[in-house]
Amino acid sequence: MEYRTISVEGSQFGDEGKGKITDYIASKANVVCRYQGGNNAGHSIEIDGVRHALRSLPSGIYEPGVMNVIANGVVVNPFALLDEIDENFAGNPDRLKLAISDRAHLILPYHILLDGCYEGAMGKNKIGTTHRGIGPCYSDKAKRIGIRMGDLLDPDYLKERLENALAINNRILSAFGEKPVDIDELYSRLLSAAERLRPFITDTSVLLDEAIDAGKKVVFEGAQGSLLDLDHGTYPFVTSSSPTSVSIPVNAGVAPYKVKKVLAIMKSYMTRVGEGPMPSEQDNAWGQSIRERGNEYGTVTKRPRRVGYLDLALLGYTSRITGVTDLAVTLFDVLMGVDDLKICVGYSLDGKLIDYVPASAKTYAHCKPVYKSFETIPFFDKTKIKTFDDLPREAKEYLGFIKDTLHADIALLSLGAERTDTVSFKPLF
Ligand code: IMP
């Protein structure tokens, strides 16, 4: 049977505009599923001129009729999720179509404290995390002392799990000079949260599988970006999950052959927040002007993003690893009228030319970008762009080079923040 599934993932360092593209695709989908990460993600979507910031809720949440799934691979801060639900659906709880996996792990207050302790202890070598407790929560999952959504539904078992987790985590907090977490207080807060979350908690793997087998259109929405992948990213400057198509089977509980298409969302230039190597970074007037034009400030943390020239060596690496079939190029309007346009096509490392991302972040930091120059893309009327051929010659050259280098079709081109600013060159389902 023909499965109508698509993985939508960031192919750089996150913040590629995934929320907006997923929102666009969600309007044509039946199910949207987040499968990794947590409220470190900041997805902003703009509807009728109003900007909505989503953190844990999937991007189909505003689409009537779309089921939104938070799968087992996501880490969920239950208190932050309830705040997000209240912010977005206060007057309209019936409009919320949400299912949360009973296997998803909970981010609890001690994870957030530990995130700060670890970053502080590393000093100048810190990762530059979002301080949302992501790393400590995934660590507890691997240590087998995590607490899962389903545990909220069994008060006795929840108490037992909490005792376990705190027996270890309170000792670590004390070693850092932090006040231990009070179990009774946290337990009672969790019991209250459980009452509100109960209707959404279920085995989402069954729900997803049934939807896929029934031929429903299912979108798997990645958070962050491929270069922040725990295994394949610029370790240790990565997040603690795998934000790519290759992790969907384990993180959502669906068979690998049921994930059909891989749509890589790529910004027309590069940005990165937090520490870590970024060979084509432009910490200068060029970078600053793109930062302002593209409003390159974090949705969640408001941190200014580092900006650089588009890096196709890096994108080639991520497309190989994640099996990209199609591309969605975002923030292309930001490049209109920009002088000194370049694309990084490889790196010079100790006098040798390479076109991949080395395993060591230290080695990667020594890579010197090799560039190809492009002509300035003139300002054009974006409302006139219906097909690739409607674009000015300079734009076609820039985009054509991307397409040829990555051997993937440009399916979507985003020319602005509104839903109507996304041009489709190819149907995705
Ligand atoms: P953590 O995910 O909070 O542990 O942060 C680890 C690294 O991932 C840091 O460099 C963060 O800046 C980066 N990061 C996490 N989430 C996002 C995101 O949604 N967009 C961009 N970078 C992110």
**DSSP 3-state of 359:** coil
For ligand 1, whether the C-beta of 132 sits within 6 Å is yes
Give the list of residues 6+ apart from residue 193 with CB closer than 8 angstroms, or none: 78, 79, 82, 152
Residue 32 CA, ligand 1 centroid: distance in Å:
22
Task: Confirm whether pTM is higher than 0.85.
Answer: yes
Give the distance, in angstroms, between the CA of residue 53 and the centroid of all CA atoms in the same chain.
13
Instruction: Calculate what percentage of the chain has a pLDDT beyond 90.
Output: 87
Residue with CA closest to ligand 1 atom 11: 129
Residue 10 CA, ligand 1 centroid: distance in Å:
12
For ligand 1, whether the C-beta of 223 sits within 6 Å is yes
For ligand 1, whether the C-beta of 135 sits within 6 Å is yes
Residue 329 CA, ligand 1 centroid: distance in Å:
21
Dihedral pair phi/psi, residue 200, rounded to 5°: -95, -15
Residue 337 CA, ligand 1 centroid: distance in Å:
31
Q: What is the mean pLDDT of the chain?
A: 95
Judge whether 422 and 329 are in contact, CB under 8 Å.
no
Mean pLDDT of 376-398: 97
| Dist. CA 387–CA 189, nearest whole Å | 53
Mutational pocket test of ligand 1: of 127, 130, 278, the residue with most ligand atoms within 8 Å of the beta carbon: 130
For ligand 1, whether the C-beta of 270 sits within 6 Å is no
The reported pLDDT for the residue numbered 256 is 96
Confidence band of 92 (pLDDT split at 50, 70, 90):
confident
| Residue corresponding to tokens 């507890």 | 140
DSSP 92: -
In terms of C-beta density within 10 A (0-12 exposed, 13-18 middle, 19 or more buried), how is residue 341 classed? buried
**Which ligand 1 atom is at minimum distance from the Cα of 131?**
3
The reported pLDDT for the residue numbered 161 is 98
Mean pLDDT of 395-405: 98
Handedness of CA 142, 146, 149, 155 (dihedral sign): positive
The reported pLDDT for the residue numbered 367 is 98
Residue 49 reports pLDDT greater than 80: no
CA distances from 211 to 28, 56, 69, 208, 395 (A): 15, 22, 12, 5, 39
The reported pLDDT for the residue numbered 101 is 98
Residues that are catalytic:
15, 43
DSSP 320: H
Confidence band of 417 (pLDDT split at 50, 70, 90):
confident
For ligand 1, whether the C-beta of 273 sits within 6 Å is yes
Q: Are strands 310-311 and 341-349 parallel, antiparallel or unpaired?
A: parallel
